[in-house]
Amino acid sequence: MRIIFFAGKGGVGKTSISAATGIRTAEIGYKTIVMSLDIAHSLSDIFDLEKDLLDINKGRPVQIRENLWIQELDINEEIQRNWGEIYKYITTLFSSTGIDEILAEELAILPGMEEVSLLLYINSYVKKRSYDVIILDCAPTGESIRFISIPTTLEWYMKKIFKLERRIAKYVRPIATRVSDVPIPEDEYFSAIERLFNRLSGVNEILEDPEVTSVRLVTNPEKVVLKETQRAFMYFCLYHVNVDAIIINRIFPESAGGFFKLWKDTQRLYIEKAKEYFDPIPIFQVDLFEEEVVGYDSLRRLADSLYKDKDPTEHFFKGEPYKWIKEEGGYKLIVNLPFVMKKDIELNKVSDELIIRIGNVKRHFLLPRQVTGMNSVSARLDGKKLYVIFKGDGRYAEK
């Protein structure tokens, strides 16, 4: 079983790359489903399918070729399947404030409902071994990070808040109904949340298992896009989700001359920077196609350009390039640096980045917000690991 996320900034070509990957794995012989995480679904458009085909299936998987299915969730259908009592209570709560009933129903579709629904499908497909490969076409970066964080957040809520909230509601409900028209949730509401959480049991372990799940970050060779990709890489590392490839999409080919010369020079610069940012993660490069990538045959050519003779289900990289640890009074960054001597290492903290230079090679580490303002940085090399310690006062020091 393999789960592969394709994440990145909006508009970089995630859907095309996801669809092309699905075609390649299906043609190799893996039973594959490509699922859309984006509320503004475009999978069916990329495959150039009739919308009626998906409308009839109402968010269920649709087989489009041998070994290949796609799925675009329908949030209205998911509410009926998974969110009944919860959605009903939230709608009632909004209505009690005087909001129009139709508007209340719209507002009751809270952020995270679609992501949780998708997690339920993933958990179910993995446990039932429904598919060999699950490919996830992620929403733009921020929403992808929220998706990854949902299992951890829900677990914290269920352990720390849920039981207390349920108990308080039980005791307060008889009194509150006499003095206020604000509805207090019935026990069916809490039972629905509990059932939902139980159905998600184990999904966090699936997402964090590098033998099963990989994230591939899709980017373009542009300053702003590359910066967001760097930030996404940091967050996925913080959530211990394995990033096994960086895909640089829409590179101007060598044959593009004249007007595009300056663009090509700029792109080459950012491709080199990408190598500095993400080493040792492998980087795949995809040239810009002459025409729009839409339809099965076009996506197949994209798969050939991207993977050549490789199997997309391979683990292109396994391991943690670095990790963060919070300690009393500060934070510690641990970087794997085998075969490096202390005298070869040079550190610089510039704005929100830490730059480690080893000879002619540079590694850039985007710093979490909590670390950015810390002006005391010290470092030590212990065997194959470099430990960089950040604290909130003092001057830069290197040991």
Query: Is residue 285's pLDDT more than 50?
Result: yes
Residue 337: pLDDT band with limits 50, 70, 90: confident
Indicate the CATH number for domain 322-391: 2.60.40.790
Residue 394 contacts residue 376 (beta carbons within 8 Å):
yes
Query: Is residue 141's pLDDT more than 80?
Result: no
For the stretch 11-29, pLDDT in tens is 999 999 999 999 999 999 9
Query: Is residue 122's pLDDT more than 50?
Result: yes
CA nearest neighbour of 237 among 354, 365, 151, 357: 365
Alpha-carbon span 226 to 236, nearest angstrom: 15
Residue 35 contacts residue 71 (beta carbons within 8 Å):
yes
For the stretch 219-249, pLDDT in tens is 999 999 999 998 888 888 878 889 999 999 9
% the chain with pLDDT above 70: 95
Domain 2-307 = CATH 3.40.50.300: yes
Residue 221 contacts residue 267 (beta carbons within 8 Å):
yes
Alpha-carbon span 273 to 89, nearest angstrom: 50
**pLDDT for res 396:** 40
Give, in degrees to the nearest 5, the angle at Cα 138 between 132 and 144.
120
Strand bridging mode 2-8 / 213-219: parallel
User: Out of 111-120, 228-237, 261-270, 353-362, which region has the weakest mean confidence (pLDDT)?
Assistant: 353-362
For the stretch 65-77, pLDDT in tens is 999 999 988 888 8
Alpha-carbon span 237 to 250, nearest angstrom: 25
| Cis peptide bond prior to 280, omega within 30° of 0 | yes
Alpha-carbon span 306 to 285, nearest angstrom: 7
Residue 99 CA neighbour count, 13 Å, CB half? 15
What is this structure's pTM? 0.84
Residue 397: pLDDT band with limits 50, 70, 90: very low
Query: Domain locations in the chain?
Result: 2-307, 322-391
**pLDDT for res 382:** 86
**Residue spans of alpha helices (H) in 282-374:** 296-307, 369-372
Q: In angstroms, how far is CA 246 from the centroid of its own chain? A: 13
Query: Is residue 335's pLDDT more than 90?
Result: no
Cα four-point dihedral sign 383, 347, 357, 268: positive
Query: Is residue 377's pLDDT more than 90?
Result: no
With b meaning 16 or more CB within 10 Å and e meaning fewer, what string describes 57-91?
Answer: bebebbebeebbbbbbbbeeebbeebbebbbbbbb
Query: Is residue 339's pLDDT more than 80?
Result: no
% the chain with pLDDT above 90: 46
For the stretch 304-331, pLDDT in tens is 999 999 999 999 998 877 888 888 778 9
Query: Is residue 150's pLDDT more than 50?
Result: yes
Query: In this structure, what DSSP letter does residue 327 have?
Result: E
Residue 54: pLDDT band with limits 50, 70, 90: low
